Each structure stands twice: as structure tokens, then as C-alpha cells.
């Protein structure tokens, strides 16, 4: 299954640092809008296949290109590139989000306006995983899925968000329904300690799932169909199409 976008547009908005970021956003499919935030390996064939699956299930996908070569999976190169975009991503930050969070919030509002929709669903993966949860503070966001959240790197039980971020996201979850976080049970890149910290921070406002295995990317490189099906049903319930 391959994905073909029908639109691409550059989107510029301030980050929390005050600097402005600009990234191309690829759009394709029809239905309620889902924002996919790319993971570290980049927007490779596996991510495009995820977009195609969501299209086939009745969702319109927005896919911002944050770094890397569009269409290629480049783990090692993208790790090096992160140090070139460190104004946007601070992968070791504890108790605060990376500056790109402000740009992401603005993008959810832009998508809602473009689609004239009730709201937007968000999927974050790996280094963008936790952003999907904090974005639930936005009125534009109806639901967020954190797949194998991995930041902060070497953070132990620390979160890549502040107490204020947690409070605002919790209020959003209380109003709209829980967020969803998931991982492979033996994933070292999205460690158990981090999932436990998320559970402690959000309590009953966050549904957490673990699937057996040592792999990492539940929805892309190490695709796990039960995980995808849970994401699909989660968003259909949020948009009232279940």
C-alpha cells in the first residue's frame, strides 16, 4: 500500500523559543484530519504506508516534514541531523518541551481551520511521541496517541514536558477523553520508566498499552496490527464514526 499526497504547503509559525520554524506539510486522503508527527528514522516508506492505511480507513492525513529525506528511512543520518536542528528539538530536555512544540500547536489550529472540522487527531512517534499528549491542551485537538514515546533521551522517570504542560493537557483530556500511549513491552528506546512516569502524571486520563516484544516502532518499521487497530478505533470513537 503506497501513499500519494494531493497537496503540500509550507507552514511557518513561532516556536516556544520565539524563533520561527518553517516546514512543508504533505496532505492526502479524505475524511476527518489526522496529524502524523514523524519519528526519528524519518518519513520513509513505512510512515507513508501508515498514512495510506489511515486514508483507507476514512481519515485525511497531514504529515509535516520536520527533518531527513522525504521518502527515505535514515536512522543514523537523522540522528546526526538532530544536532543541526537543535533549535527545534532538544532531545535531552527534562521538565520542558522542545521549542518545536509551539509550531505544532499552531499547526493543529491551522488544520482545524483548513478542514472546518470539529478537531484534529494527533499521532506522535518516538521523539515526537509525548507531543501528541501535550497537544491535547489545544482546543483544536480531539485526541492524541503517543506511540513509543522516547524523550527525554536518558531521562529516567523525567518527562519531556513541564508541570504546566501536564496540567493543561490533563484539562484537555478530562474534557475530551483520555489520551493513549503505547509501547512494546521490552522496548529499550521507549523505556518502562518513562511509561510509568506518564501514568503517574496523567492517571486515569491516560490509557496505556504494552504489546509483547523487543521492537520499537509499533506503527511503522516494526508494524504491529493490534496496535494500529487500537489507534484506528481510538480516533473513530473521537470523531464519532465508530
From CA 22, how far away is CA 43, in angstroms rounded? 17
Whose cell is 516534514? That residue is 65
**What confidence category does residue 242 fall into, taking pLDDT thresholds of 50, 70 and 90?**
low
Establish whether the linkage from the previous residue to 102 is cis, with ω within 30° of 0: no
Which class is domain 7-236?
Answer: alpha beta
Read off the pLDDT of each residue in 4-16 and give the average, rounded to a whole number.
96
Q: 3-class SS at 218?
A: coil
E strands, 7-140, in order: 7-14, 20-28, 32-37, 59-64, 120-125
Tens-place pLDDT, residues 158-214? 999 999 999 999 999 999 999 999 999 999 999 999 999 999 999 999 999 999 999
From CA 56, how far away is CA 62, in angstroms rounded? 14
Considering all CA atoms of the chain, what is the largest pairwise distance in Å, rounded to the nearest integer? 42
Q: What is the pLDDT of residue 156?
A: 86
The residue extents of the domains of the chain are 7-236
CB 183 within 8 Å of CB 148: yes
Q: What is the pLDDT of residue 105?
A: 98
Tens-place pLDDT, residues 18-44? 999 999 999 999 999 999 999 988 999
Least confident of 87-96, 129-138, 231-240: 87-96
**What confidence category does residue 82 fall into, taking pLDDT thresholds of 50, 70 and 90?**
low
**What confidence category does residue 1 fall into, taking pLDDT thresholds of 50, 70 and 90?**
low
CB atoms inside a 10 Å sphere around CB 109: 15
* pTM, to two decimals: 0.96
Percent of the chain predicted with pLDDT > 70 = 96
Whose cell is 516494526? That residue is 222
**Strand 59-64 versus strand 20-28 pairing type:** antiparallel
Amino acid at each position: 500500500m503506497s501513499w500519494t499526497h494531493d497537496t503540500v504547503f509550507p507552514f511557518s509559525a513561532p516556536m516556544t523559543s520565539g524563533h520561527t520554524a518553517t516546514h512543508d506539510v504533505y496532505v492526502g486522503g479524505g475524511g476527518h484530519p489526522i496529524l502524523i508527527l514523524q519519528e526519528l528514522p524519518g518519513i520513509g516508506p513505512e510512515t507513508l504506508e501508515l498514512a495510506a492505511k489511515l486514508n483507507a480507513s476514512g481519515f485525511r492525513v497531514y504529515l509535516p516534514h520536520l527533518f531527513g529525506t522525504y521518502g527515505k528511512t535514515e536512522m543514523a543520518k537523522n540522528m546526526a541531523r538532530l544536532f543541526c536542528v537543535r533549535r527545534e528539538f532538544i532531545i535531552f530536555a527534562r521538565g520542558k518541551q522542545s521549542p518545536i512544540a509551539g509550531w505544532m500547536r499552531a499547526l493543529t489550529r491551522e488544520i482545524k481551520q483548513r478542514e472546518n472540522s470539529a478537531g484534529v487527531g494527533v499521532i506522535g512517534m518516538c521523539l515526537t511521541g509525548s507531543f501528541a499528549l501535550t497537544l491535547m491542551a489545544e482546543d483544536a485537538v480531539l485526541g492524541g496517541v503517543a506511540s513509543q514515546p522516547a524523550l527525554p533521551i536518558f531521562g529516567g522517570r523525567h518527562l519531556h514536558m513541564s508541570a504546566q504542560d501536564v496540567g493543561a493537557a490533563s484539562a484537555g483530556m478530562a474534557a475530551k477523553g483520555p489520551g493513549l500511549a503505547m509501547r512494546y513491552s521490552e522496548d529499550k528506546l521507549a523505556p518502562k520508566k518513562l511509561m510509568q512516569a506518564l501514568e503517574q502524571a496523567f492517571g486515569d486520563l491516560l490509557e496505556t498499552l504494552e504489546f509483547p516484544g523487543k521492537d520499537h516502532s509499533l506503527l511503522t518499521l516494526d508494524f504491529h496490527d493490534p496496535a494500529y487497530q487500537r489507534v484506528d478505533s481510538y480516533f473513530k470513537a473521537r470523531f464519532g464514526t465508530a
